[in-house]
Amino acid sequence: MTRQVARNAVWNVAGTLISIGVGVIALPVLLHALGAARLGVFTLAPGLIGFSGLLDLGLSRARRASPPAAPTCTMPCALAAGCR
């Protein structure tokens, strides 16, 4: 068990270092290609998306865990099947 935890910790650190390395390499390329203003917007967008996930407060998970709702009929379905 301890060897498995150590191996997983090494993989976790390696993944983090690879992610940082890719970011360090990609940043000058993106800055040159997009310019400073567009890079700022490009950087801000994932942050806002992540923050909106934080504001979710687990409601999307609760919505998926609830039993399925009764099907709603559309107009063609209501006419064909006699739904109310």
The residue with tokens 């099947």 is 81
Residue 84: inside a domain, yes or no?
no
The pTM is what? 0.52
How far apart, in Å, are the Cα atoms of 18 and each of 21, 22, 48, 60, 61? 5, 6, 24, 31, 31
- In this prediction, residue 67 carries a pLDDT of 60
- Looking at the structure of the chain, the number of domains it has is 1
Backbone angles phi, psi at 55, to 5 degrees: -75, -10
Residue 70: inside a domain, yes or no?
no
Residue 16: inside a domain, yes or no?
yes
- Summarize the chain as % helix, strand, coil (round to 5): 80, 0, 20
Residue 71: inside a domain, yes or no?
no
* Structural domain containing residue 56: 2-65
**pLDDT tens digits for 6-58?**
999 999 999 999 999 999 999 999 999 999 999 999 889 888 888 887 777 77
